[in-house]
Amino acid sequence: MPRPIDLEVSVEIELGAWAVLIIGAAVAGCIDAVIGGGGLVLIPLLLAVVPGIAPATALGTNKLVGVTGTASAAVTMVRKVGASISVRFIPVALVCAGLGAASASLIDAAVMRPVIIILMLAVGTFVALRPSFGTAVGGGDVGRWRRWAVMVAVGVIAFYDGIFGPGTGMFLIMAFTALLSQDFLRSAAMAKVVNTSTNLGALIVFAWGGHVWWQLGLILILANVAGAQLGARTVLGGGAKLVRVALLVVVIVMSSYLTWQQFFSGAA
């Protein structure tokens, strides 16, 4: 049965800490809407600013905050560019992310990090060397094998999001762009829909285990949604070129961060 979160630590959060968390939630929402990776902002803030919060609770609370911001960005972007094909991926993403979250304790993060760093660098190198990739607007019918390939990719990436997470939005954008032969902007809109489902699937598992601080999360949701709306509108204004630049930036930042975690921070 779910175990309740000890909320006594809430009285220890000072006004300055609240300001940091609210600003951090807004920044995380903006980053998530543009390319993904907001958890790399909010989770460390929760662990650093909130005394006594357990890592699992920080992860669960981040999913609560992230699912709402990502959903709001998805609505804004889908209304503009359309992403109807992504609807069929929702149940796959939901289930696979839940399975990933349930299996998280079985996978050593120290083993996952080097693999993800290599994948990110490979993605960044490919995009940097192929300036035309992600700039063409896809048209025409998508073959059956591509639909199945995308379905498998969504399932694998969703499982990864539940079990580890960094770079999920970027990997989804790359999969949709490569397999559906479309531009980065439409892929980003589709990624937001699927990423909402992956966040929800993981959130359900964390909530069932009692690892969500609802009171804190519900306050931070407002800031996250505001940031997500700013990010979504920024992407729509900048188009595929902005997504391309953001993707390359996130590869550099996340690879550097994960490398630091792996070799210098002493993180497990």
Which pLDDT value is given to residue 107?
A: 75
Q: What is the mean pLDDT for each group of 10 consecutive residues in the chain (268 residues)?
A: 42 76 94 85 87 84 93 92 77 94 78 85 88 69 80 94 84 90 88 93 92 92 96 90 87 86 69
The model carries a pTM of: 0.84
| Distance set, CA 73 to CA 148, 188, 190, 226 (Å) | 26, 10, 11, 10
Beta carbons of 162 and 101 less than 8 angstroms apart: yes
**Residue listed under structure tokens 């509108």:** 233
Beta carbons of 121 and 255 less than 8 angstroms apart: yes
Q: What does residue 266 show for φ and ψ, rounded to 5 degrees?
A: 80, 15
Which pLDDT value is given to residue 120?
A: 87
CA–CA distance, 254 with 245 (Å, rounded to integer): 14
- Which of 49, 69, 46, 40 has its CA nearest to residue 228? 69
CA–CA distance, 74 with 84 (Å, rounded to integer): 12
Which pLDDT value is given to residue 82?
A: 73
Name, in order, each residue with C-beta under 8 angstroms of 195's C-beta and a sequence gap of 6 or more: 32, 36, 70, 74, 93, 161, 168, 169, 172
